[in-house]
């Protein structure tokens, strides 16, 4: 496994600064002398950096006595591409990009235990043991989707931790809308749907004691350029990706940056104003709001009209005659 490509914003490596310079003038020539002077290195060092970047898949043209030209960015996650110019307040100041890991959540959890700062995040190209809820698996083929985990350290009681799942659902829905113009829907508790098919899943994990949260790992899996043949046959729900829903490949780095921006805005809003705004947007985007639903709970099921979510994340069902039932976990289908 390759070592993580990590960076703090403001302390990026020479290589990342070189990419940033070339990216700023993408499609046009930059002279070797200018690159050398901006990076404060020799022209031989510039040449070596160009070689390294080409080996990583950057398409850089070199014309003697004119300079270098970056034609297009490879669709690979690097800390520099994910964070340079990002104006987020809390999220994405420290980023790790990994080629392969078991689960970004597991890795982020260990990193948080070791003291990683709020907003630190991990992005992987591939997961070998991507986690869903209740021991289920998240299909994580290489190089086509986004698998990421963000470390948050809000000062809230553990009972409110699930609010962050709803926050991240709204962030993912906003992201899909911004990038594709499509209108995703949220299915309680943690699925994002496009045309009734699951395009993203969320898994939050927490470390806490009775009266306080140490940290919450917000895990997000979003299918971006996943093809039909990359989905296994036995998924619990029909699934899709942005590629399948729009008919065209989508730039993953742009999706990730948009997601971090929305997450950051919503998290700021959450810390300063509480959960209500987020609940309202969640309800507005909910697939089953005010609809008659059936929730499979254990061996049986409960039916009622979905009316919203409680502060602790419970789904509220109107069972008629003024009776409201709180559902803590279960699978919802519309009737
Ligand atoms: C989820 O679980 O939807 C949570 C998925 C969270 C994944 C992210 S990726 C980054 C971070 N690191 C991790 O290890 N996990 C998080 P659940 O509601 O239990 O749904 C799991 C079910 O969705 C599976 O049993 C399959 O039926 C289906 N599924 C698996 N992979 C899928 C995919 N790529 N797209 C759509 N559906 C999938």
User: What ligand 1 atom has the least distance to the C-alpha of 191?
Assistant: 3
CA-based nearest residue to 214, from 116, 91, 122, 312: 116
How many whole angstroms from 138 Cα to the centroid of ligand 1? 4
Q: What is the pLDDT of residues 46-56, one digit of tens each?
A: 999 999 888 87
Question: What gap in Å lies between CA 99 and CA 122, rounded to an integer?
Answer: 11
User: What ligand 1 atom has the least distance to the C-alpha of 201?
Assistant: 3
Residue 26: CB atoms within 10 Å:
12
333 and 294 Cβ atoms separated by less than 8 Å: yes
Q: Whose CA is nearest to atom 10 of ligand 1?
A: 147
Query: What is residue 3's three-state secondary structure?
Result: coil
Question: What gap in Å lies between CA 322 and CA 306, rounded to an integer?
Answer: 13
How many whole angstroms from 202 Cα to the centroid of ligand 1? 7
- Cβ-proximal residues to 159 (8 Å cutoff; 6+ apart), any chain: 311, 312
Q: Whose CA is nearest to atom 36 of ligand 1?
A: 239
Residue 127: which pLDDT band, with cuts at 50, 70 and 90?
A: very high
Rg, Å, the chain Cα set? 22
Residue 10: which pLDDT band, with cuts at 50, 70 and 90?
A: very low
CA-based nearest residue to 100, from 68, 78, 65, 126: 126
Question: What gap in Å lies between CA 247 and CA 154, rounded to an integer?
Answer: 39
The pocket around ligand 1, CB under 6 angstroms, is made up of 103-105, 127, 130-134, 136-139, 147-149, 190-191, 198, 201-203, 219-221, 223, 235-236, 239
Alpha-carbon distances of 298 from 39, 133, 301, 302, 331, rounded to whole Å: 61, 15, 7, 10, 10
Query: What is residue 302's three-state secondary structure?
Result: strand
How many whole angstroms from 142 Cα to the centroid of ligand 1? 15
Q: What is the pLDDT of residues 223-249, one digit of tens each?
A: 999 999 999 988 878 999 999 999 999
Of the two residues 15 and 197, the one the predictor is more confident about is 197
- Cβ-proximal residues to 301 (8 Å cutoff; 6+ apart), any chain: 294, 295, 330
User: What ligand 1 atom has the least distance to the C-alpha of 103?
Assistant: 14
Q: First and final CA of the chain: distance in angstroms?
A: 47
User: What ligand 1 atom has the least distance to the C-alpha of 134?
Assistant: 19
How many whole angstroms from 294 Cα to the centroid of ligand 1? 22
Q: What is the pLDDT of residues 153-196, one digit of tens each?
A: 999 999 999 999 999 999 999 999 999 999 999 999 889 999 99
Backbone angles phi, psi at 75, to 5 degrees: -85, 65
User: What ligand 1 atom has the least distance to the C-alpha of 221?
Assistant: 9
């Amino acid at each position: 496994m390759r070592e993580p490509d990590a960076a703090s914003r403001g302390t990026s490596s020479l290589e990342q600064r070189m990419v940033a310079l070339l990216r700023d003038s993408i499609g046009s020539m930059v002279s070797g002398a200018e690159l050398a002077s901006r990076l404060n290195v020799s022209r031989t060092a510039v040449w070596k950096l160009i070689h390294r970047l080409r080996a990583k898949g950057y398409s850089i043209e070199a014309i003697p006595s004119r300079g270098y030209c970056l034609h297009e960015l490879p669709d690979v996650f690097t800390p520099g591409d994910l964070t340079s110019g990002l104006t987020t307040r809390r999220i994405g100041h420290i980023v790790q990009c990994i080629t392969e890991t078991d689960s970004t959540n597991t890795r982020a959890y260990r990193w948080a235990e070791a003291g990683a700062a709020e907003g630190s995040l991990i992005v992987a190209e591939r997961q070998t043991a991507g986690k869903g809820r209740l021991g289920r698996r998240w299909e994580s083929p290489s190089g086509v989707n986004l698998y990421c985990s963000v470390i948050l350290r809000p000062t809230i009681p553990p009972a409110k931790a699930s609010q962050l799942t709803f926050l991240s659902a709204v962030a993912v829905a906003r992201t899909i809308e911004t990038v594709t113009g499509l209108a995703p829907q949220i299915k309680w508790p943690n699925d994002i749907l496009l045309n009734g098919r699951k395009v993203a899943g969320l898994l939050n994990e927490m470390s806490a004691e009775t009266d306080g949260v140490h940290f919450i790992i917000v895990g997000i899996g979003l299918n971006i350029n996943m093809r039909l043949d990359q989905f296994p046959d036995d998924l619990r729900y029909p699934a899709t990706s942005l590629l399948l829903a729009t008919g065209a490949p989508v730039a993953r780095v742009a999706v990730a940056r948009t997601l971090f921006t929305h997450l950051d805005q919503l998290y700021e809003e959450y810390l300063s104003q509480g959960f209500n705004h987020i609940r309202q947007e969640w309800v507005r985007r909910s697939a089953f709001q005010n609809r008659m639903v059936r929730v499979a709970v254990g061996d049986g099921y409960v039916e009622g009209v979905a009316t919203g979510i409680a502060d602790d994340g419970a789904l509220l069902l109107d069972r008629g005659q003024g009776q409201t039932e709180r559902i803590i976990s279960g699978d919802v289908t519309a009737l």
